[in-house]
Amino acid sequence: MENENFNRMPLIGDEAPSFKARTTQGDINFPEDYKGNWVILFSHPADFTPVCTTEFMTFATMIDEFKELNTELIGLSVDSLYAHIAWLRKIQELEYKGMKNIEVTFPLIEDIKMDVANKFGMIQPGQSDTQAVRAVFVIDPQAKIRCILYYPLSTGRNFDEIKRIILALQKADKDGVATPADWRPGDDVVVPTAGSCGTAKERMENQDDDTYCLDWFMCFKREK
């Protein structure tokens, strides 16, 4: 039983595990320090590795885009604070895909004892006993986990998709809708499925300029 619980990750809809941690931006107390914000908590296997370096450069260049969406970034690996600092300083000297002089200003958690990584199930023995996999937890302002992404050690993340997830969740919360495949802001959205025969019939018979149905269970709202 102990091994089963050791790497159990919290699930979508769960309260995000609370923690206090030392980071490159000072101590943080989660979720208290992030009340009212969306949070992207993400882990990487190790400092001074090439895939992780490209990811941090990308995230750092997008930080203002996420702030505009009321979203804060928190990184994590099991390396020491001093390794983090040395690596982030080295990143400032690199140039990749036109990105250069990149300063990482979001906090990067020191997690040498793997306390936070284990709370979030980021250590997966099938990949590594000593490194966190590439996990992404999207956490809402009520500290509920809304989306979880896991990537293998060899695969860098798609940051456009991470931003799209934030946009889609915020749209769903604001308007009570769902978003279809490949949705982008401005695209039509999905109206919740009819819960009764009467509602289904009414929708099919009373479509208007704002809504349209492909069938009783598949109705869309036009975005203007």
For residue 211, give both structure tokens: 């809504």
Is 219 noted as a catalytic residue in this protein? no
Residue 134 sits at the vertex; the CA angle it makes with 133 and 136, to the nearest 5 degrees, is 125
How far, in Å, CA of 67 to CA of 63, rounded?
A: 6
Contact 112, 80 (CB under 8 A): yes
Determine how many CB atoms are found less than 10 A away from the CB of residue 74: 23
Q: Quick one: residue 164, left, alpha or beta (phi over 0 = left, psi -120 to 50 = alpha)?
A: alpha
How far is it between the farthest Cα atoms of the chain?
A: 65
Is 22 annotated for ligand binding? no
DSSP structure class, residue 122: -
Give me Rg for the CA atoms of the chain: 20
How far, in Å, CA of 135 to CA of 184, rounded?
A: 23
Q: Which of the residues are catalytic?
A: 52
Tell me the binding residues for substrate.
134
Tell me the binding residues.
134
